[in-house]
Amino acid sequence: MRALLSETPGGPETLVLRDLPDPAPGKGEAVLAVRAVGVNFPDVLIIEDRYQFKPPRPFAPGAECAGVIEAVGEGVAALKPGDRVLALTGWGAMAERIAVAADRCVPIPDEMDFERAAALLMTYGTALYALKDRAGLKAGDRLLVLGAAGGVGQAAVELGKALGAEVVAAASTQGKVDAALALGADRGVVYGRDLDRDGQKALAGQFKQALGGDGADVVIDCVGGAYAEPALRAMAWEGRYLVVGFPAGIPSIPLNLTLLKSIQIVGVFWGAHVAREPDLHADNLSLLFELFGQGRIRPRVTETYPLERGGEAIARLASREAVGKIVVTL
User: 57: domain CATH number?
Assistant: 3.90.180.10
* pLDDT tens track for 233-260: 999 999 999 999 888 899 999 999 999 9
Tell me the pTM: 0.91
Nearest Cα neighbor of 138 from 217, 211, 236, 215 is 217
319 domain-assigned: yes
- Look at residue 157 in the predicted model and tell me its pLDDT: 98
Same domain, 130 and 114: no
The 10s digit of each residue's pLDDT in 19-72 is: 999 999 999 999 999 999 999 989 999 999 998 889 999 999 999 999 999 999
Residue 116 lies in a domain: yes
Q: In a 3-state reduction of DSSP, which class is residue 194?
A: coil
Helix 121-128 to helix 151-162 angle, to the nearest 10 degrees? 50
Single-letter residue type at 238: E
Q: Total domain count for the chain? A: 2
Taking 50 as the pLDDT cut, the residues of the chain under it are none
Please tell me the predicted confidence (pLDDT) of residue 195.
Answer: 87
Question: Does residue 214 form part of some domain?
Answer: yes
Q: Within this chain, do residues 230 and 251 fall inside the same structural domain, yes or no?
A: yes
From 325, 314, 253, select the one nearest 42 (Cα to Cα): 314
200 and 214 in a single domain? The answer is: yes
Residues 213 and 249 in one domain: yes
Phi, psi angles (nearest 5°) of residue 245: -165, 175
**Long-range contacts from 184-190, C-beta under 8 angstroms, 24+ separation:** 184/157, 184/158, 185/145, 185/148, 185/157, 185/161, 188/148
